[in-house]
Structure 1
Amino acid sequence: MTSWVPGADASPYTPANLPYCVFSRQGEAPRAGVRIGDHVLDLAPALHDEVFAAPSLNGFLARGRAAWSDTRRRVQRLLSAQAGEAAANRAAVEPHLVPLAEVRLHQPIEVGDYVDFYCSLEHATNLGRMFRPDGEPLLPNWRHLPVGYHGRSGTVVVSGTPITRPRGQRVPAPGRPPVLGPSAKLDIEAELGFVVGTPTRLGEAAGDFADHVFGVTLVNDWSARDIQSWEYVPLGPFLGKSFATSISPWITPLEALGHARVAGRAQDPEPLSYLGRREPWGLDIAMRVELNGEPISAPPYRQMYWTPDQMLAHMTVNGASLRTGDLFASGTVSGAEPGQRGSLIEITWNGSEPIKLADGQIRTFLEDGDTVTITATAPGPGGTSIALGEVTGTILPSLPGPRGGSDRTSRVPSDRDGDRRRPADCG
C-alpha cells in the first residue's frame, strides 16, 4: 500500500505501520495522532472523533479490538494513494498533517499497572553463570513459568525524560557495611513492552492475547545493580528498579506486526496447559542499543524463550484483573552472541570486561551525561521494514541525599547468611 504523503513510502513509517502517539504543538493541548513518514496525522479532526482529542490513548484503547481494526482501516484508506477517492481524501486530510519537527511527543498512555518479566533464556543464563558460577545457571522455576515482578507505574516516563541517578543502600566492597549514596552500577535493560487495551474482571483469566493487547512499545528498564543486589532478598526488585522506566512515545499496533510473527522457541519441559501457545506470538524484532550515539549491541527479540501471550496468561491465571493502559515488559532481550546482549551487566560481564568507545572512553556501567537510545525494526509487507519508535534517556547526576544519608547500618551480613550478598538475578 503506497501513500500520497510526501516521503512516506521511502520511510519505515508507511501505511503498513501507523504507530500511535500523543503530541502537541506550541500553545496547543496534547491529543492523539499516528505517524506517517515524517508527519503526524491529527486524528480527532481527520476522523471526526473526539476520543482522539484526549491527552492519552486510553479512551481509544478501551474500545476494544474491533474498534482498533476499524480505525486502522479508515486511516489507511485516508492515506492511501490507491483508493479511488485518494484526491478527495488528500484534500480533506492534508490540513491535519503536522510535520514531525513541529511536535512535542508526550507519554502516550496513562499507565495502570506495570509488570516486568524475565523471559530471555540467554539473559537469565548469563546472570546465573555470573553470580552462581559453581551452580545451575537457571533457578528451578525458570523453565516452568515466565518469571516476573510488579513494578512502579508512577515512574514510567516517556522517551527523552532525563534519568536522575538513583540513590539507595549499596555495599561498596565485599565485607564492608552498606552506605546510602548514588548508584555506582547504573545499567540499562533493552526490552519490548506490551500495552493492554481491553480489561478483564477481577477473578477471571485473560482470553485471546490479541483481544486484550493493543500494541507494543520499546522499553528501557533502567536498573541500579548495586542497590538491587543488596536489597532484593527476600522479596525481589525494589528501589534498584523503581526509580524510572522509559517507554517510547510510539505504540505500534499488533496489526502492524503481522509479517513479524514467528513460532516461539521450543520449550523443554512442555509448559502447563494454560501456557500453551494457541497462536504463534513470537516476534521477529531486531533491536539496536546505542551509547552516546555508538552502537554497542543488537538484541534479537525473536530468540526470547517465553512469548507475550504466555506472559499475559501467567499474569492473569490467578484472577488478577487487567486495566486499560496496563503495561507489561519482556525483561532484558539478549541473544546467544556477545554482541546481542541487552544490558551492560552482560556486555561488560559485571564490569570485568569494560567496553571502549570510539572516542577512547571506557565504560562498565553508565556515567553521568551518558545517553542511551534503543531502536528496533520488524519485517513489513513485500520485503519492507517497519520501525518501532525509539526510546532514549540521558543520565543526570544524583540529587543531594537526606541529612545523615551516609550513615551505616548496624550489621553487615556474614558468610553464614548464605547468598544474601549475591548480586541479584534481574529482568
Structure 2
Amino acid sequence: MPEHNPRHLSEGDPFGAHTLPYGVFTPPGAPEDPANRRIGVRLGGRVLDAAAAAAAHGSPHAALLAQPVLNPLMAAGRSVWQAVRAEVRAWAAAPGSEAHCHPLEAVTLHLPFEVADYVDFYASEHHATNVGRIFRPDSEPLTPNWKHLPIGYHGRAGTVVVSGTDVVRPKGQLKAPGDAAPSFGPSRRLDIEAEVGFVVGTPSDRPVTQGDFREHVFGVCLVNDWSARDIQAWEYVPLGPFLGKSFATSVSAWITPLEAFDAARTAPPERTYPLLPYLDDSGAAEPGGIDLRIEVSVNGGTVSRPPFASMYWTAAQQLAHMTVNGATLRTGDLFASGTVSGPEPDQLGCLLELTAGKGPYLADGDEVTLTAWAPGPDGARIGLGEVTGRVLPARD
C-alpha cells in the first residue's frame, strides 16, 4: 500500500487514502443540535474529525472545516480543495491520528451540504430507449432532440434527503389507459432510479465550458431519485416530471472529491450525431466519462449492476448545457445523471426497466441500497458512500 495510507485500514479498503470523502456528523454522545455538527472524512470504518485534526496541526483551513455544512469549503475554490485534501491525507497517516477518529457506527450522519438547486438529467441512451419503448410503444423510443442535447428538468432542492431517511409513499392523481377519469390515492408503482450526482462548489454567473468543469464541481455522490411511475405517466405530457419525482431524492452522506476519480476517467460512447460546439467533446483534454460500477439491492438482494461508463452524455456536457443559456451556478447546486442503465438485462437502473413496466414495484417496508466503486491508482478502489432508503406507507 502507499506509505501515506492510514495504518489502521485494511488493504483494499475502498475508503482509503485515495478516496477521502467528506461528510457532516454529530460525534457520539453529543446532543442532536446543528451547533454540534462537524465536518468529517471517512477512513474505512472510521470518521476523522477534520476540524479537530486541523486545529491540532495548525491548519490555515481550520475555520473552513469547523463548519456544520460543507458549503463554505466548497465555495472556497479548487486550489483550497486541493490543499485541504493534501492536508487530510497527511493527518490521516500521522501518528496519533486515531485520537481524532470516531467509529462510523457511533456517529450520526447528516445531509452534508445545503442544496441550492437540483437538476436531474436523462443521460443514459439505454435507459431512455427502454423507457421510450415502454411509454411510447408505437413511436421511436428516442425523441428527436435526445442525441443533440442533454435532456433534464428541475427538481425540488427541499426534498433532497440524506441516506437512511425513510421515504413516505407519495399520493397523487392516477389514471390507467383504460380509466375514464383520474383517481387520487397512493402510488402503486413506486420505483427507484440509480443515479450519480455532482455537487457544485465554485459559483458562476456565466456559462461554464466543459474545460472549466473541474473548477466548479467539488465532488461526486450516489443518488436515488425515487419515482412514482403511475403519477408520472399521467402528468408528464406535455411538460415532463413533476409530482411523480419531487417527493424525495436520496443522496449519500459522503461527497467524494472529483479528484479521486482521475484514474477512472474513460471515453464516453461514440457520438452518432455531430454536436454543437459547446457540447462537442471530441477534442477534450481528458475523457469525460467515469468508470463507476454501481450495485442496486432491494431488501439485501442484488437486482442490478448498472455501469456508469456507458452514459452517453457526460457530467461536463450536462454542466455546460445547464448554464449555456446564462443560468447561474450556486454553491450547493446538485445535478444528477438520470437513471444509469447498461445494455445487459442485469444492468438496468430502475424497476420499470427490470420488469418491462409490468412490476412488481416497491412495497411498503422495502429497503433499497445503492453502492458503487471506481478503479483508483495502484489497483486501489474508490468507494462512494451508500444510499439507503426504506419505504413507509402513505400518510392519511
- 2:334 & 2:123 partners in 1: Cα distance? 15
Question: Are residues 1:34 and 2:36 paired?
Answer: no
- 2:175 & 2:391 partners in 1: Cα distance? 22
SS in 2 for 1:230: helix
Q: Which amino acid aligns with 1:145?
A: L
Q: 1:303–1:335: 8 Å Cα contact kept in structure 2?
A: yes
Q: TM-score, structure 1 length as denominator?
A: 0.87
The C-alpha deviation readout for 1:6-50, integer Å capped at 9, x for no partner, is 134441111011011001123251110111111111111211202
Q: Which runs of 5+ in 1 are unaligned?
A: 81-88, 355-363, 401-427
Counterpart for residue 403 of structure 1:
none
**Residue among 233, 246, 251 paired with 2:250:** 246
SS in 1 for 2:82: helix
Displacement over 4 Å in runs of 4+ = none
The C-alpha deviation readout for 1:261-283, integer Å capped at 9, x for no partner, is 01111111021110122231200
Counterpart for residue 297 of structure 1:
304
Q: 1:205–1:320: 8 Å Cα contact kept in structure 2?
A: no
Q: Which runs of 5+ in 2 are unaligned?
A: 56-61
SS in 1 for 2:39: strand
Q: 1:191–1:219: 8 Å Cα contact kept in structure 2?
A: yes
**Residue among 69, 76, 85 paired with 2:89:** 76
Counterpart for residue 132 of structure 1:
136
Counterpart for residue 67 of structure 1:
80
- 1:337 & 1:205 partners in 2: Cα distance? 34
Q: 2:307–2:341: 8 Å Cα contact kept in structure 1?
A: yes
**Residue among 342, 348, 363 paired with 2:355:** 348
Tell me the CA shift for residue 397 of structure 1: 0.2
SS in 2 for 1:68: helix
Tell me the CA shift for residue 5 of structure 1: 3.5
The C-alpha deviation readout for 1:184-239, integer Å capped at 9, x for no partner, is 000000000000000001x4445610000011000000000100111112211110
Q: Which amino acid aligns with 2:95?
A: R
Counterpart for residue 173 of structure 2:
169
Structure 1 residues 283, 205: CA separation in 2 closer, same or farther (over 3 Å shift)? Answer: closer
Aligned counterparts, 1:47-66, within 5 A: 47-48=54-55, 49-66=62-79
Counterpart for residue 425 of structure 1:
none
Counterpart for residue 384 of structure 1:
380
What fraction of aligned residue pairs are identical, expressed as a percent?
A: 56
Tell me the CA shift for residue 172 of structure 1: 4.4
Q: 1:193–1:218: 8 Å Cα contact kept in structure 2?
A: yes
SS in 2 for 1:44: helix
**Residue among 15, 18, 31 paired with 2:17:** 15
Tell me the CA shift for residue 175 of structure 1: 3.0
Q: 1:9–1:37: 8 Å Cα contact kept in structure 2?
A: no
Aligned counterparts, 1:388-427, within 5 A: 388-400=384-396
- 1:138 & 1:204 partners in 2: Cα distance? 27
RMSD over equivalenced CA pairs, Å: 1.3
- 1:10 & 1:335 partners in 2: Cα distance? 26
Counterpart for residue 199 of structure 2:
195
SS in 2 for 1:239: coil
Q: 1:113–1:326: 8 Å Cα contact kept in structure 2?
A: yes
Q: Which amino acid aligns with 1:378?
A: A
SS in 2 for 1:139: coil
Q: 1:172–1:179: 8 Å Cα contact kept in structure 2?
A: no
Tell me the CA shift for residue 118 of structure 1: 0.1
**Residue among 308, 311, 319 paired with 1:312:** 319
Q: 2:18–2:380: 8 Å Cα contact kept in structure 1?
A: no
SS in 1 for 2:339: coil
Aligned counterparts, 1:139-218, within 5 A: 139-172=143-176, 174-201=178-205, 203-206=206-209, 208-218=212-222
Q: 2:223–2:336: 8 Å Cα contact kept in structure 1?
A: yes
Tell me the CA shift for residue 144 of structure 1: 0.1
- 1:105 & 1:4 partners in 2: Cα distance? 22
Counterpart for residue 408 of structure 1:
none
- 1:131 & 1:250 partners in 2: Cα distance? 35
Structure 1 residues 75, 8: CA separation in 2 closer, same or farther (over 3 Å shift)? Answer: farther
Q: TM-score, structure 2 length as denominator?
A: 0.93
Query: Which has the larger Rg?
Result: 1
Q: Which amino acid aligns with 2:107?
A: V
Q: 1:205–1:319: 8 Å Cα contact kept in structure 2?
A: no
Aligned length: 379
- 1:53 & 1:37 partners in 2: Cα distance? 22
Counterpart for residue 118 of structure 1:
122
- 1:205 & 1:383 partners in 2: Cα distance? 33
Counterpart for residue 96 of structure 1:
100
Tell me the CA shift for residue 67 of structure 1: 0.5
Q: 1:287–1:376: 8 Å Cα contact kept in structure 2?
A: yes
The C-alpha deviation readout for 1:296-348, integer Å capped at 9, x for no partner, is 00000000000000000000000100000000000000000010000000000
- 1:390 & 1:190 partners in 2: Cα distance? 11
Q: 1:5–1:37: 8 Å Cα contact kept in structure 2?
A: no
Q: 1:12–1:386: 8 Å Cα contact kept in structure 2?
A: yes
